[in-house]
Amino acid sequence: MPVLAPIGRAFLALLAVAGRLALFAAAGIGHAVRPPYYPRLVGKQMLEIGYFSLPVVGLTALFTGMVLALQSHSGFARFNAESAVATVVVLSITRELGPVMAGLMVAGRVGAAIAAEIGTMRVTEQIDALTTLSTNPFKYLVAPRLIAGLVTLPVLVLLADIVGVFGGYLVGIYRLEFNPANYLKLTWQYLETLDVVSGLVKAAAFGFIVTLMGCYHGFNSRGGAQGVGVATTNAVVSSSVLILGANYFITAAFFGT
């Protein structure tokens, strides 16, 4: 049927991309665990991904926590459950909004930068030059970024959790007039270790996704400046979609019962 053929072709193309991505990820992981290692490059990438993302992730978490407190207060007021605000803020931030918002912000900031840098290296033959200088580009470019993404995002998200909860606290105390000691008590009362740990596991997965997609699209960019632009866009869009998809599956694995 002529209607089904394009659908089939698109599906096969999708499978081919998934296969290429899986092979790329496997090669990246393989090179990350085998020597030689590049600790200097890992450190540099950790600074790039973690330290320089702190302002944007911190601000996002702060305002998210503040808005969450306002929204949940106005919603819960309808059935006299205002006292749940602190609990809702801390659970939402640690389980969901901390890792997802940080992941998306890092995808926009870091994923794009990685794709643009590696893409430019591809189109200006710098990646070929690495090979001619007896240096494996996967080991030198991909592995340090994957390791840095995997390690740094959980730290970033832990800080985002603290800042986000603090944002909710500020609104709770100064605008909604909660008692500070009571707000803090409610924040801790129903918080479990698993809430934080699940968020950190998500963060590690999102860090891997963002760096992987940045490297993959940069590595496969073609055709000069326009190709690098396309690679950058694809890196941000695909890592954002994958973050949201992975978020569901990790949530289901932890809390799906």
User: Which residues of the shown chain bind another protein in the complex (CB under 8 A)?
Assistant: 117, 120-121, 124-126, 128-129, 131-136, 140
Burial class (CB in 10 A: 0-12, 13-18, 19+), 136: middle
Tell me the closest approach of the beta carbon of residue 49 to another protein, in angstroms.
15
Distance CA 215, CA 148 (A): 13
- Going by C-beta distance under 8 Å and a sequence separation of 6 or more, which residues neighbour residue 133? none
Q: Would you say 153 and 207 are in contact if contact means Cβ atoms under 8 Å apart?
A: yes
Written as six digits, the tokens of 41 are 């490059």
Tell me the closest approach of the beta carbon of residue 44 to another protein, in angstroms.
9
Measured from the CB atom, the residue of 30 and 245 that comes closer to another protein is: 30
CA distances (Å), origin 185, targets 49, 60, 179: 34, 25, 10
Tell me the closest approach of the beta carbon of residue 91 to another protein, in angstroms.
42
Tell me the closest approach of the beta carbon of residue 139 to another protein, in angstroms.
9
Tell me the closest approach of the beta carbon of residue 61 to another protein, in angstroms.
30
Measured from the CB atom, the residue of 2 and 39 that comes closer to another protein is: 39
Distance CA 145, CA 61 (A): 24
Task: Identify the three-state secondary structure at position 250.
Answer: helix
Closest CA to 86 of 97, 99, 73: 73
Tell me the closest approach of the beta carbon of residue 136 to another protein, in angstroms.
7
Torsion sign, CA atoms 197, 199, 200, 201: positive
Measured from the CB atom, the residue of 74 and 124 that comes closer to another protein is: 124
Measured from the CB atom, the residue of 94 and 211 that comes closer to another protein is: 211
The distance of Cα 223 from the centroid of its chain, to the nearest Å, equals 28
Measured from the CB atom, the residue of 23 and 244 that comes closer to another protein is: 23
Measured from the CB atom, the residue of 132 and 257 that comes closer to another protein is: 132
Start-to-end CA span in the chain (Å): 42
